[in-house]
Structure 1
Amino acid sequence: MEDSPALGAADWSELPADILGIVDGKLKFSDLFRSAAVCSSWRSAARSLRRHGLYTRPQTPCLLYSTAAAGSRAVELYSLADKSTYTIPLPDPPIADRTIVGSYHGWLVTADTRSELHLLNPATGEQLALPSVSTIEQVNPVLDEAGNLQRYDLSFYDAEIPRKEYQPPQPFLLEDLRRYLYFKVVLSGDPSRGDCVLMMIYNPYRQLAFSRVGSNKWNWITTSYRSSMYSDCIYHDGAFYAMNRQGGIHRYTIKGSCATREVIFKDTSPFTPAHKMYIARTSSGDVLQIWRETSSPIEDSLETQTTDIEIFKVDFGKQDILDIDTLKNDALFVGHNYSCCLSIIEHPGLLSNHVYFTDDEEYSLIDDQDYRRDVGMYNLGDNSVFEIVSPQPWLNWPVPVWITPSFTKINNK
């Protein structure tokens, strides 16, 4: 005779599906995965919640990276909330063959071996193709005699009139163009919740182009590199705020296929700085400029390490920046992800007054893949740098990136 539950003992596997759904909806990302491992009914409830896009609890960012153990079609997520790692299978094309050029609202922006962009949600497995690379203004696809795509030619011009090409068009193999062309892609919001605009910072000259999810082309924003050379971009209150490498901030309002530019903050540096620059908003609404300095620990190597991070508050009224030495109860995330500050009160797994960074060194991504990536945390209080995980488990390609898991799906069927 089979053993039966002791008299009065609760059989948690028999909880009704609707009750399980309510409980699962309150769990952290990591706890949802643990609950799915309890038994078949709990696993089914967790899958149903994710499949129908009903899991909307705010999450703490995770570090997404690839490993040899996970293989070419899966990634690891290291949770900052519980310091645990989870393996997530992904759809084709293999993540090992992609570059990552953006991350926001739980979605990655990736470029495949033909330099075509995709939106990918690792938590749900949903994937969307973005407009073809061939619709970017300076990109010209070249076909062979049989009509097959052979390469891309990239032209080096901006919107300066009369048009000047500073060098002849350069040929790129299909998989090589992505490494030079794409700098960063920023989303206006969660694609699963409706209309979503993407703003791309791309080369040559760190120009801008935008598109909507579901559109078939990239719309070129016609600016001169002398006034652009953008370093980062965020979305706020219905507009994109793009910051150039001199610290100037330009607000872009998108209507249809047109973009209207307004210069809302003057350039703060007369020259192009050697450090990387980001723009972000604090949880209280202040706009920040972030300057990140790196150096190479090995002579003549492209490998870099973060050595200093400076934070400046933007004063739009005085058209000036104020050096600040604390983020108070915020933590800052920079890299190929959307640059953002998160409150440690709402995300207790994070450290206040710390900058969480990943490697986004432009030239190293173009010229080399095989070296130790610059990933870690920077303490603004004592200017110390330390690792997220030691020893570092990730492969060098694609580069690790911050992502906030989202189980919300576009097609809730």
Structure 2
Amino acid sequence: MGEQPPADNDWSNLPADVLTTVFCQLEFPDLLRSAAVCTTWRSTVRAVHRLGVYNCPQTPCLIYTTAAGGPRAAELFSLADKNIYRRRIPDPPIGERNIVGSSHGWLVTADARSELHLLNPATGEQLALPPVATIEQVNPVLNHDGGIERYELSFYDATHPRKEYEEPTPYRVDELRHALYLKVVLSCDPSRGDCIAIMIHNPYRQLLFARVGDKKWHWVTTYREYSDCIFQDGAFYAMNLLGGIHRYTIGGSCATRDVIFKDTSPFIAHNVYISGTPSGDVLQIWRMTVYTYREPQELHTTRIEVYKADFDKQKIVAVHSLGDDALFIGHNHTFCISTKDYPQLLPNHVYFTDDDEYWLFDGRDGRRDVGIYSLEDKCVKDVVSPQKWLNWPVPVWITPCFTKILK
């Protein structure tokens, strides 16, 4: 028989560099548990966070607020271990913001002044995006003291000669965000530098973009009526409400459009998404919802259909199974990942959160449409039961990122 190790091995004496190497391979729930082992491990975990070297890929989480946590805290429901982790969020209070995007571990939020912020709930870091007043169709109306009294939103696109389809609509400073912002997608983790934000906004689901650190938003004048957008291979791929896919290459303050997939849908559909896959395919995801007529009225996802874009034949092909992959849709940037890499996820399932343009505010006090859809069984199950989150802000998927901005 081999020699048995001493029973009194002191794991706290492991070298710091060995501990750091091991800790950097753990998902954050296991890292937090490691910090509770002893003071040596706790100090090493803190050093890993402080030095910004912790960049282990994370299983997606659901982020939301609760009454118990209050407006200045968010809770993460980890799909890795099915536990809840509370994070205190810097002001303005997260409970008073709109969430209009989630990319690379960062939330895109709109505060009570309708200004946009990038927020990393894992690190507490926050960055401002360009002022709302620099958006083409937004006009600030000042009071006698020079402060902003309200905003006016004009209804026109880039058609020449310019035609305003209706009179500008006035909005309170805190109200504009509800009507203006639909979805914001980031090109990369802002802590990596040279991050571009692209926005789908009203009126008419047009596009804007800005680099983090820019002073203004740049209006994309080539098209409108977009539903979703992703970033891959150095460009943004925006899908319109008829299933057409347009590639946008950003250079300076200009965006060049290439139509790479024609419109395929015979009808306009608002809840449609675009995603790349680990194997390199491009998917279109079509989400069907219904409203209940009982009080309070509720929105429910009833069916999700997935199609592959065949670029050679310029048509979509029904996908009946994702195999080992899982999809995430909602206000997050739409993504598809392999459950072989994240075994705690359910293969051939679509994880969804509420992002219906018209329901978000009209049904603000109602149940949020959050769940997991099985493509095999065509049924919806709860992420967690009973649901723990408040109805506002809307819960959203996020993949935690602990990489810090280099000062």
**What TM-score range do you get, normalising by the shorter chain?**
over 0.9
Where do residues 248-263 of structure 1 align in structure 2 (5 Å cutoff)? 248-263=244-259
Paired with 1:302 and 1:272, the residues of 2 have a C-alpha distance of: 24
Where do residues 10-409 of structure 1 align in structure 2 (5 Å cutoff)? 10-224=9-223, 228-273=224-269, 276-299=271-294, 303-409=298-404
SS at match of 2:358: helix
Paired with 2:266 and 2:9, the residues of 1 have a C-alpha distance of: 70
Paired with 1:52 and 1:391, the residues of 2 have a C-alpha distance of: 38
Paired with 2:17 and 2:70, the residues of 1 have a C-alpha distance of: 36
Deviations 1:276-304 (A, max 9, x none): 10000111010011000000123586521
Deviations 1:209-230 (A, max 9, x none): 0000111110000135xxx300
Contact 1:158 1:223 in 2 (8 A): no
Instruction: Give the letter for the 2:255 counterpart.
Output: A
Contact 2:152 2:168 in 1 (8 A): yes
SS at match of 2:47: helix
SS at match of 1:60: coil
Number of positions where the alignment pairs a residue of Structure 1 with one of Structure 2:
402
SS at match of 2:283: strand
> Identity percentage over the alignment?
64
Paired with 1:89 and 1:369, the residues of 2 have a C-alpha distance of: 24
Paired with 2:182 and 2:399, the residues of 1 have a C-alpha distance of: 21
- Runs of at least 4 residues of structure 1 off by over 4 A? 299-302
Paired with 2:189 and 2:333, the residues of 1 have a C-alpha distance of: 12
SS at match of 2:387: coil
- Per the normalisation by structure 2, the TM-score is 0.96
Contact 1:207 1:223 in 2 (8 A): no
| Equivalence for 1:4 | none
Instruction: Give the letter for the 1:345 counterpart.
Output: K
Deviations 1:208-257 (A, max 9, x none): 00000111110000135xxx300000011111000000001110000000
Instruction: Give the letter for the 2:37 counterpart.
Output: V
SS at match of 1:128: strand
Q: CA deviation at 1:270?
A: 3.5
Contact 1:180 1:366 in 2 (8 A): no
- Per the normalisation by structure 1, the TM-score is 0.95
Contact 2:298 2:363 in 1 (8 A): no
Deviations 1:331-358 (A, max 9, x none): 0000000101000111111111000000
Q: CA deviation at 1:39?
A: 3.1
Structure 2 stretches lacking a partner, 5+ long: 1-5
Q: CA deviation at 1:148?
A: 1.1
Root-mean-square deviation (CA, aligned residues, Å) is 1.4
| Equivalence for 1:3 | none
SS at match of 1:270: coil
Contact 2:222 2:257 in 1 (8 A): no
**Distance of aligned partners of 1:255 and 1:92 in 2 relative to their CA distance in 1, 3 Å threshold:** same
Contact 2:187 2:196 in 1 (8 A): yes
Q: Higher mean Cα deviation, 297-306 or 21-30?
A: 297-306
Q: CA deviation at 1:382?
A: 1.1
